[in-house]
């Protein structure tokens, strides 16, 4: 009887009612991820840091093409400020795609808003994102005091929470769609791993990309992660607000994807117990 009453609530109000479950599942996700791990949450730092070191070596030592990239900040900073939000993006989606399948006992036996499961996967990835972001303080301090590059703090950094929120909205929309699709077609998670690898190199994560009239340039212009990654660099390192047109585009895509994903998820949720 209580479950029937809950289903008559507005979805957002119901989600708020189950906010403590969202927190609990997020904590559980973190514990499972780092169970019996020597470094624990330290892996959130090691992964983007090691990738930064690899790309820095490749682009500054092995082939030395940084000068041709026209990057006005130290390459290590450029790479790390792209890799950290991208790691957040990739980890959140990789975790959320299996969130319904991995919690079949909860889905089939207990009533709660199913959206909580993919959202908890994003929540655990967000904790990693926060931890990995602390390394930026050390990198900025090193390049400011020991190189010719100077860091000039700007009020633009106050815009950073808006960038994070837009990325979370975008990720949530994708997570709802992917977790639902993987429930019906289990090879979605395999496809996602390939798509994310290709998507990273179609985004300005480790090198700058600018839209042009070529096929790749047009794909870059349509990729909402490109203005989001650029917005992180603008607010954190360059001390300026992101380009308004491209950031508004990314925001509109994120909101539209969330509305679409939420609607599809709600309409298909009655089939989850049968499909799982």
In the chain, % of residues over pLDDT 90: 61
- The number of C-alpha atoms within 13 Å of 219 and in the hemisphere containing its C-beta is 10
Mind listing the pLDDT tens digit for each residue in 29-75?
Answer: 888 888 877 777 788 889 899 999 999 998 887 777 777 788 889 99
Mind listing the pLDDT tens digit for each residue in 179-217?
Answer: 999 998 889 999 999 999 999 988 999 999 876 667 777
- Tokens 């979805």 belong to 11
Q: How far is CA 190 from CA 99, 193, 198, in A?
A: 14, 5, 13
When comparing pLDDT for 212 and 91, which is higher?
A: 91
Q: CA angle, corner 240, sides to 48 and 258, nearest 5?
A: 60
In this structure, what token pair is assigned to residue 46? 């090691």
When comparing pLDDT for 93 and 17, which is higher?
A: 93
Closest-CA residue to 163 (of 102, 238, 248): 248
Q: What is the mean pLDDT of the chain?
A: 88
- Tokens 């599942």 belong to 25
Closest-CA residue to 96 (of 43, 173, 27): 173
Closest-CA residue to 124 (of 229, 29, 230): 29
- Tokens 């972001």 belong to 133
pTM for the whole structure: 0.91
* C-alpha span between 215 and 219 (Å, rounded): 6
| pLDDT at residue number 221 | 78
């Amino acid at each position: 009887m209580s479950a029937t009453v809950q289903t008559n609530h507005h979805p957002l109000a119901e989600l708020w009612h189950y906010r403590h479950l969202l927190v609990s599942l997020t904590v559980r996700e973190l514990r499972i991820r780092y169970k019996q791990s020597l470094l624990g949450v330290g892996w959130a730092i090691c992964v983007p840091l090691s990738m930064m070191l690899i790309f820095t070596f490749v682009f500054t030592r092995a082939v030395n093409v940084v000068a041709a990239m026209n990057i006005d900040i130290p390459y290590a900073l450029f790479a790390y400020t792209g890799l950290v939000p991208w790691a957040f993006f990739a980890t959140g989606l990789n975790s959320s795609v299996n969130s319904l399948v991995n919690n079949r006992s909860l889905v089939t036996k207990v009533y709660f808003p199913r959206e909580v499961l993919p959202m908890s996967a994003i929540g655990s990835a967000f904790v990693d994102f926060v931890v990995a972001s602390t390394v930026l303080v050390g990198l900025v301090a090193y390049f400011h005091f020991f190189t010719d590059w100077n860091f000039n703090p700007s009020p633009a950094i106050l815009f950073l929470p808006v960038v994070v929120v837009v990325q979370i909205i975008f990720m949530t929309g994708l997570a709802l769609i992917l977790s639902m699709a993987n429930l019906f077609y289990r090879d979605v998670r395999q496809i996602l791993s390939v798509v994310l690898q290709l998507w990273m190199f179609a985004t300005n994560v480790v090198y700058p990309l600018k839209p042009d009239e070529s096929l790749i340039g047009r794909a870059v212009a349509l990729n909402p992660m490109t203005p989001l990654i650029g917005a992180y660099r603008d607010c954190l390192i360059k001390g300026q607000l992101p380009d308004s047109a491209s950031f508004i585009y990314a925001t509109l895509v994120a909101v539209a994807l969330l509305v679409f994903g939420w609607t599809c998820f709600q309409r298909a949720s009655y089939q989850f117990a049968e499909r799982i």
